[in-house]
Amino acid sequence: GQNIDQPTEMTATEGAIVQINCTYQTSGFNGLFWYQQHAGEAPTFLSYNVLDGLEEKGRFSSFLSRSKGYSYLLLKELQMKDSASYLCAVRANFGNEKLTFGTGTRLTIIP
Amino acid sequence: ETGVTQTPRHLVMGMTNKKSLKCEQHLGHNAMYWYKQSAKKPLELMFVYSLEERVENNSVPSRFSPECPNSSHLFLHLHTLQPEDSALYLCASSQRDDSYEQYFGPGTRLTVT
């Protein structure tokens, strides 16, 4: 079976750094994705990791450890517009387009 | 129009009604998806179409019936739904051979009364 865990809610301060963790237990692994979803809007792609290590993209970075079944999304220099839900998703097999999503972490940025 | 569009954006229907949700992608992708998003639950994959063939049916009740007439269009036909089917229904598309990124539409907020 597939199991993906991430915290339900987090709060952080504008200008600070926040790390959102995701752990997974899946029958196969071929990539981990992070999506951002603002309230009432569609999820939008943030990052993709398939090899161990850190992928950096501007203020956002994503890390993967396949041996630990663990990933995190790091957001730097937080802005109020970063208030959103952050969804962790795992693809089990290459060529199979099925993504299994976690429940999402609702991040609130406070001034 | 660009990206992935969905109509209607909001739908209220009774349990005996029949309605259809429409999704259109303008990205030249060859895979399309239907997801259900309920409050406090993970995004649930319902159906996957790849090259216009259904390749995934995630144990979805038969009151949901997908249709993919071509690579740009995807429908979800609804009949005799239950109140617990009220949710946000999201369509997504991707390029199956290459890209890993799924592009989502804005969703249809469905309320079953």
pLDDT in tens, A12-39: 999 999 999 999 998 888 899 999 999 9
Residues of B in contact with A6 (CB under 8 A): none
pLDDT (tens digit per residue) in B58-111:
789 999 999 999 999 999 999 999 999 999 999 999 987 655 789 999 999 999
- Chain A residues bordering chain B (beta-carbon distance below 8 Å): 4, 31, 33, 41-45, 48, 87, 89, 91, 95, 97-104
C-alpha to C-alpha distances, B5 to A27, B51, B56, B101, nearest whole angstrom: 33, 19, 22, 17
- Probe site for chain A from B35, B36, B43 (most A CB atoms < 10 A): B43
pLDDT (tens digit per residue) in A59-99:
999 999 999 999 999 999 999 999 999 999 998 876 667 88
pLDDT (tens digit per residue) in B21-56:
999 999 999 899 999 999 888 899 999 888 777 777
- Residue in chain B lying closest to A39 (CA): B106
Residue-level pLDDT at B58: 72
- Going by the DSSP 8-state scheme, the letter that residue B99 receives in this structure is -
C-alpha A105/C-alpha B21 separation (Å) is 28
Which two structure tokens, joined as six digits, stand for A70?
């663990």
